[in-house]
Structures are given as C-alpha cells and as structure tokens.
Amino acid sequence: MDTKTTPSKRTGGRSAAVIHNVRTAVEELVEEKGQDRVTVPMIAERAGVNPTSIYRRWGDLPTLINDIATYQLDPARPLPENGDLQRDLTAWASELVEHYRNPVNAALLRGGASAAGERQSNCLRNRRTEAGLILQRYPDSPVTDDDILDVVVAPIIYRVIFVPWTLEDTTAEHLVERLFR
C-alpha cells in the first residue's frame, strides 16, 4: 500500500513530469470546482495523462488527494534553525499555519481526512518526522515529539478542518508558548 503513495521514490524524467502535472491538475480543479466535483477522468484530461496511469500509481481518488495534500509542503525543504528550540518550533508551526490558510490546501486536507483512518497518512508522518528532526538538535529538550503533535499540530489541523477562520498570525506562536509553560 505505502509504496503506491510515495511516488517521490521515482522523481526522474517522465515519472516526475506525470506527478507534477497530476498534482497541478488536482490543485486547479479543486479550486475551480470544489473537491466534491473532481473526478479521476477530469484530472487525467487536465494533466494530459491516461486515467489508468493515475489508477495504477495512486489506486483511487481519495488516496491521490491524500497524497497531493502531503506533497504540498515539500518534505525536502530546509527546517528552521535558529539555535533555540522554541523559536524553531514557532517558525515551523507558522509555516504550517500559513500553508493551510490557503483554501486549496485546506480543502485538500479535508479530502485527506475523509480518506484517512486505515493507515498513517503521509502528511502526519512527515510532520512527526520533522518534529523529531528539530528535537534532535536539542538533546536536553523538555518536550517530546508526542507533545509537539498534541499541543501544536493537532490544534492547528483541528482549526484547518473545522474552523479555518480562527487561524491567525499569532496562532502558531501561542500554541508553541503553551508547550513551554
């Protein structure tokens, strides 16, 4: 199952172009039509690929949406590095908030949510990995990656899904402050 949802393993040439075109098609179509009205044939046409290529690579539409929602936040981007754990986490959480204040990204996350529950989503796994990478630099940290997921990531994702209008410039900062109280 998981190999299907990590197309980043083959990023060269034609394969990378297909992923890029399909991703762009999904983003455009979700923005234009709303996620409920997007179908695989529609995505295939816009991306200029055969629907069977999409089914072969992703399996089904919910998996594709979940996958796209993940890769929007590039897992290979550099993580904040300010020499201070609280500042690093605030910068990192702010990126997350900014990303999901874009309505397309929020809609994709909601789509991912409806398809989630049977296996760890890539999105969640990437956030946990990133939290772990930041923590590694601070071996005396009083907080764990579980704390970061519960106190910072969960309230952000909860807001994105259910009350996106409550995401503010200071949300990330306030949540990270709570972690160090």
Contacts of 167 (CB under 8 A, 6+ apart): 97, 100, 101, 156, 159, 160
Tokens of 117: 């529950």
Cα(35)–Cα(108) distance, integer angstroms: 8
Length of the chain: 181
Site string for its own copies, 34-73 (x = CB under 8 A): -xx-------------------------x-----------
Contacts to its own copies from residues 109-138, by CB under 8 A: 110-111, 113-117, 120-121, 124
User: Considering only 6-14, 21-29, 78-86, 152-160, which stretch makes contact with its own copies by CB under 8 A?
Assistant: 152-160
| Shortest reach from residue 157's CB to its own copies, in Å | 6
Would you say 19 or 112 has its CB closer to its own copies?
Answer: 112
161 touching its own copies, by CB under 8 A: yes
Cα(130)–Cα(120) distance, integer angstroms: 15
Q: How many CA atoms lie within 13 A of 10 on its CB side?
A: 11
Would you say 49 or 70 has its CB closer to its own copies?
Answer: 70
| Shortest reach from residue 110's CB to its own copies, in Å | 5
| Shortest reach from residue 150's CB to its own copies, in Å | 4
Would you say 7 or 111 has its CB closer to its own copies?
Answer: 111
Cα(2)–Cα(64) distance, integer angstroms: 12
170 touching its own copies, by CB under 8 A: no
Cα(131)–Cα(45) distance, integer angstroms: 38
Tokens of 5: 């949802």
Q: Is 80 within 8 Å of 74 (Cβ atoms)?
A: no
Q: What residues line the site for its own copies (CB under 8 A)? A: 35-36, 62, 106-107, 110-111, 113-117, 120-121, 124, 149-151, 153-155, 157-159, 161-164, 175, 178
